[in-house]
A and B are shown apart, each in its own frame.
Chain A
């Protein structure tokens, strides 16, 4: 066999170089290649011998990866998978609702089948239930992680996604224990992961976190420093940029509203030049709410007694300042004022959304929808992961319902020139509404839209049908 192998190698080399290979033909084949077109005959024997006598082998010992773990929630019912795949395949670009779709399925207490969707290594946004898959795609699975509690000593035994999830749960159950682990181990992590660890401290942020946050003032990562400063500001601590706060205070004033119940209102003065506006926006980014309040001689919450007044972009910048550095009470106060005043733009709520609890998201979705614009961006932002729970009655009372009916009419009978655009818009609108409605609401709306003339099999109704069929799984 070794001789044959050598002969085949010489034949191959001859043909690579552009020479006849007949002289290298093994003796037992000579007769077969002696006739006309011997090279072709030799190729027949060579090719055949190579494919049946030899098998390629890997360059080293191969071991399979650990099996992909099963998740805590059941997989979406098999009958719904084709429709879900069709919806996923249709998602692209700015109108993609892939993330929200995955959140909706999780909200109904299911996970996706890994053949239909798996997170990529960068998908930190994936719902917590996918942590084991995230660790698997990052090849960080550790066999012993599940058997030990998360402590400073066992920290390294846990894969990253599972570790972060365990810390988040521990922060709720025992904030001090979570702080101790994060404080001990954050420095061993790269910057991106230090940021994620720091974000865990946002839940239940309190004075006991201050010392650790202050130690991050000299962190190698600017992003880590920024977050630490913001958290300290929420606690009313941190470096006080007195002159900057005074400069910003000069750009606003405190007014009064109400005849009987006099309330303080923050008024952001109109500015003339774009350079001034840029400076104001920069100051809103740098100065904390506490520092601004001190410069104005008032408490944080006093600034929120009435909705702020001023140019929309300035209110947006102020809202961002509150979201980043305001105490929980100040943040909630601003949120309430924006909701109470019908003249306030709902879009200002978006910057406050990251600090909303799940309960707040559920309770705010309906009032926001009642005033949201047709793209429902703000409603979906406020809802966050709390999807698929809105009753149809809320939608029927919202402006979007009338717009939806008009869109269907346009698609079915409107001018040809607009039909493609309206069709795309209708698909996007139905998807967004479908993400918000509860299952009975989704079924009801689908029936209504079909009664208006859209075909029941139209793929634009796919997400409504999926929602309607995806009954919440009850885990005993």
Chain B
């Protein structure tokens, strides 16, 4: 049973899904499209920082996408099938990648599933593709909209200001009443103040505080007091900085909420960098608010001051386990647009080419990887994690269970997390990790045994 336009129309949940899919038919949105037998797959740059991975079976009409949509098939799957039906020659034959095989292994074969919430309305690919008639702009309506937005922004600023002052008071109370007591009740106490911040529209700050207990409890017992002081200190610096410059986009992002991907791409002040990037690794965290955060760390392989970037996405835990958008070690030319910041780090992909087998070496690292950290901490003192590049060294174990990175010159950096045995027996030519002020969590390393990744 091959794939046809009428089959796609039949399986689409509704006409709006087809319309949404029509928006995704531009080839530029699909840096990867391939096939093997009846299977087709692709990567689609959606609204998230990481591209969505989409698979479809042209024989059995099953499909899978990593986007959080509850519609089945989603607009990305529909668009992929639509592109295939329109011009299958654009899907080159390729070896089936690991993420496609994984889906094959989990899939139950049988009759194709019915389209979710299939509506009785007529569904047509042709209609979906038809251009919408343009409505002429209404200056008065635009002005009203702008005034309302300005008022909303003012109200938000006022309520957030009050909430940050409450937060400073809360921090002082926790310190004065004893950090041991705080650590015993961190979940409950943080929840309460986070709720106050949510009410005041300081959503980003609320999420940061909500996640604080899990960050602290992940530390060894003897480090939690210092960890709590560091966290409170960063919060105090952040709230003060915001009150001094509430319109600063970086501070707004840290306190209220981040811009959308479209905002960043449309922002002329968002720095852009086209370079060759390597995927260092991924960190996936389940948050207390029911969202999963997926952070993909990239490293710029060319010379230049912008060494790292992080693609950050959030999706509901209910959408299930999502495979990574990239393979660690993968290299691709891309233009990234960075969220404006004093030390830009978070980015979105503006344009990406296919991955290549580039033999470029990792950039050179400074002899003391922590040498720059003090400078960075003055510029962005509230940052939770700072990516670092390490020069050649070895990993040493200190009983009972602590590990250290040691440079060939004897500089020592304490490490976080459990490391595989191989890490202790390998010679690290380069390494990259995330410094949290107390310890470094390794992400990847180039070793005498080749590339090594470190799971969180």
Contacts and interface: CB of A to CB of B under 8 A. Distances in A.
Interface of A: 12, 15-21, 36-48, 50-52, 55-60, 62-68, 78, 82, 86, 90, 113-115, 118, 136-137, 412, 416, 419, 455-460, 462
A67 B426 contact: yes
Interface in B350-397: 370, 373-374, 377, 381, 394-397
Interface in B207-221: none
Interface residues of B: mostly helix, strand, loop or mixed?
helix
B179 to A, nearest CB: 5
B36 A68 contact: no
B225 A16 contact: yes
Residue from B38, B98, B236 whose CB has the most chain A CB atoms within 10 Å: B236
B149 interface: no
Contacts of B232: 40, 43-44, 47
Given A46-B233, A51-B230, A15 B448 contact: no
B168 A67 contact: no
B236 A44 contact: yes
A39 B232 CA distance: 10
B168 A51 contact: no
B234 interface: yes
B172 interface: yes
A39 B98 contact: no
Given A37-B168, A86-B98, A67 B448 contact: yes
A86 B105 CA distance: 11
Contacts of A67: 425-427, 448
Contacts of B394: 64
Nearest to B108: A419
A48 B225 contact: no
Given A41-B236, A58-B398, A66-B425, A458 B104 contact: yes
Contacts of A19: 176, 178
12 contacts: A15-B225, A18-B180, A58-B396, A64-B424, A67-B425, A90-B105, A114-B422, A115-B450, A118-B421, A455-B109, A456-B36, A457-B96
Nearest to A38: B172
B226 interface: yes
Given A39-B171, A43-B171, A65-B397, A455 B377 contact: no
Interface centre among A48, A115, A457 (most CB of B within 10 A): A457
A55 B369 CA distance: 12
B178 A15 contact: yes
A58 B171 contact: no
B109 A118 contact: no
B64 interface: no
A68 B414 contact: no
Contacts of B176: 15, 18-20, 39
A43 B233 contact: yes
Interface string B82-102: 000000000000001010111
A456 B59 CA distance: 13
Nearest to B230: A47
Nearest to B395: A64
Which residue, A37, A57, A462, has most C-beta atoms of chain B within 10 A? A37
Nearest to A69: B425
Interface in B389-419: 394-398, 402, 404, 406, 412, 414
B396 A62 contact: yes
A455 B232 CA distance: 55
A21 B175 contact: yes
Contacts of A57: 412
B37 interface: yes
Contacts of A90: 105
Contact of A457 (B101, B240, B395): B101
B421 A55 contact: no
Interface string B412-456: 101000001110111100000000011000000000111010000
B162 interface: no
Contacts of B177: 18
Given A12-B225, A46-B229, A51-B230, A37 B178 contact: no
Given A51-B438, A56-B438, A456-B37, A12 B229 contact: yes
Contacts of B126: none
Nearest to B394: A64
Nearest to A52: B374
Contacts of B395: 64
B236 A43 contact: yes
B39 interface: yes
B181 interface: yes
B237 interface: yes
